[in-house]
Structure 1
Amino acid sequence: MTVLWTVLLAGLTWWSVRTDTPTVREQRTLGQALPVVDRAVGQLVVAVGDGAWAMTGRQVEEGCRVTPMDDGAELTRGVDVVVAEGGERGLLESVADRLPGDWRAGVRVSSEGPRLRADAGEFVLVEGRVTTPGRVRFTVETGCRPLDEVALADLLPGYPGEPALDEALRALGRPADDSVEQVVAACPGGGTARTRWVEAGPAPVSLAGLKPLAAGAALVDTPEVYAWRRGPVVLLADATGEQVRLAASTGCA
């Protein structure tokens, strides 16, 4: 009876490992969580709508503990949005309303300001918070997971140039740059959202030369940030750091 019971337990364990879905986050590797993260970023792009936005690349931080015996890693992706100062909470609430109902998205106000939280499924967390006045960052986080062979290279140096970026570089009097980088995300209804960006030399610099490029009113117009739309492409010039950063983003149809 003992031998039969041992064989039965071994068989059930083998079957469970191969067929049952994971029941806790620690049973899913970083690679298995990656498609959920990318789809969540696509949902955020749709929820942000026509604002001035740009996706961020994948960031992997190793060294966390999955269990007391096992190391792991955390994966984070996000979407940065620039709004008029005072409109940060309105953006967070608007995005929460547009996210899928089963994400249970909501905005609460704490001592650190308004914050969005949502559950994208498969133990993937979505948050939104105000980073500086007029700036909101939405992040998609896996939490600590076992690290496997996961494709992390969604930043593609040397990607074919973006004409709208070349146009913006010329308007700023900066030379064309072939080191364009790209990040992509899957759209909920099919297709792909993308952000391409390039470093455009040292700041400070006047962004006034970009104003003739806008088709209609600018999305954001401050001395250090200028955002405009060129057809389906949203362009964002950010001169708040040491380097001017130009980003061109195409959302979901």
Structure 2
Amino acid sequence: MSGGVQTGYVPQTGPGAPAPTRRPWLIVATVAWALLLALLVWISVRDDPPTVREQRTIAEAGPVVDRAAGELVAAGGTALLELTPARVERGCRVTPFAAGAVLTRHVWLAAAGGGERDLLEGVADRLPADWRAGVRTTTDGLRLRADAGEFVTVTGRPVGDGRVRLTVDTGCRPVGAGYTPAPAAAGPEAGVLADALRALDRPDDPAPEVVTAPCPGGGVARTVRAAVDLDPGAPAGALAPLAADGPILDGPEAYAYRAGSVTVLADTTADDPHLAATTPCPHP
């Protein structure tokens, strides 16, 4: 049939061709499905707990960090030396496109000579069971690790001068409204700190800073601290007359003693020299 024209059906393409059949029910179903998905996502965001750290801001994590610091104070018992102010460090990346910050708090304890492991294990045993706290020797040395919940971690380590540092850390997350510590007034530790400042011949130093942590059984633990630039070794001679029962810590960069229920620490480290007076959590 070369050169011929095949006969058969030829679809209409001209003006008289019928329009494609529309399916309104398909459009309605698609819109309804999209609305349903949007509703389910909104309910999940509103009601479900966060599944990654990036879903909690620094502002939301702040109370968790403060409560964790209080738990550490209570677990540290009579070994408590001081609470240090919270730090918010910006500059980390939550995602490649979003900047974030890390909130940390430290609780410092005094360890008797060679007793760092016993101290850390005692702290781990007294922390809440759901924190799953444990102590082990790693390639970096002795470490305590625990999970305070809501993606807040707790670590602990000896620092080599008779002290143990416990750290509460949020990891990098959105800043949100930021972290604002709860306002607090000093208690009996303020008078003890004033006595130590006079002994060091520094009675006119600036007003001290008050740092607190809520105790798990009620009440608060407090540290009142003043920035004091001291020569290493100077606090031991000046403060020894106030240490009626002798020092609980006497090292090259730290000297500590108790005055009743208040612990006084003179820290001469170069990056943060200060004098602190601390009251622990009240006994239940």
The normalised TM-score by structure 2 is: 0.81
Q: What amino acid maps onto 1:239 in structure 2?
A: T
2:217 maps to which residue?
Answer: 189
Query: Cα–Cα, structure 1 residues 226 and 179, in superposed 2: closer, same or farther, change >3 Å?
Result: same
Check if 1:84 corresponds to 2:112: yes
Q: What amino acid maps onto 2:148 in structure 1?
A: A
1:67 deviation in Å?
1.9
Q: Distance in 2 between matches of 1:47 and 1:243?
A: 25
2:30 maps to which residue?
Answer: 2
- Which of 110, 119, 122 is the equivalent residue of 2:147? 119
Q: What amino acid maps onto 1:209 in structure 2?
A: A
For structure 2, the residue ranges without an aligned partner over 5 or more in a row are 1-28
More moved, 136-145 vs 228-237: 228-237
- Which of 204, 207, 216 is the equivalent residue of 1:179? 207
Q: What amino acid maps onto 1:61 in structure 2?
A: E
1:231 deviation in Å?
2.2
2:40 maps to which residue?
Answer: 12
Query: Cα–Cα, structure 1 residues 237 and 64, in superposed 2: closer, same or farther, change >3 Å?
Result: same
Query: Which one has the largest radius of gyration?
Result: 2
Q: Distance in 2 between matches of 1:7 and 1:125?
A: 38
Query: Cα–Cα, structure 1 residues 117 and 55, in superposed 2: closer, same or farther, change >3 Å?
Result: same
More moved, 44-53 vs 83-92: 83-92
1:103 maps to which residue?
Answer: 131
1:52 deviation in Å?
4.4
Q: Distance in 1 between matches of 2:170 and 2:156?
A: 15
Q: Could you report, residue by residue, the CA deviation over 1:164-192 in whole angstroms, capped at 9, with x for unpaired residues?
A: 11101111222332320121111111111
- Percent sequence identity is 54
1:37 deviation in Å?
0.4
Q: Distance in 2 between matches of 1:86 and 1:24?
A: 39
| Contact 1:118/1:126 (<8 A) preserved | yes
1:252 maps to which residue?
Answer: 281
| Contact 2:80/2:110 (<8 A) preserved | yes
1:33 deviation in Å?
0.7
1:236 maps to which residue?
Answer: 265
Superposition map of 1:1-253 within 5 A: 1-153=29-181, 162-204=190-232, 205-222=234-251, 224-241=253-270, 244-253=273-282
Bigger proportion of residues as strand: 1
Q: What amino acid maps onto 1:194 in structure 2?
A: R
1:245 deviation in Å?
1.9
For structure 1, the residue ranges without an aligned partner over 5 or more in a row are none
More moved, 81-90 vs 216-225: 216-225
More moved, 206-215 vs 65-74: 206-215
More moved, 213-222 vs 49-58: 213-222
| Contact 1:105/1:117 (<8 A) preserved | yes
| Contact 2:215/2:221 (<8 A) preserved | yes
> After TM superposition, what 4+ stretches of structure 1 lie above 4 angstroms from structure 2?
153-156, 158-161
| Contact 1:174/1:201 (<8 A) preserved | no
| Contact 1:207/1:224 (<8 A) preserved | no
Q: Could you report, residue by residue, the CA deviation over 1:218-250 in whole angstroms, capped at 9, with x for unpaired residues?
A: 322346432122222111122343775210111
Q: Distance in 2 between matches of 1:125 and 1:101?
A: 14
Q: Distance in 2 between matches of 1:242 and 1:25?
A: 31
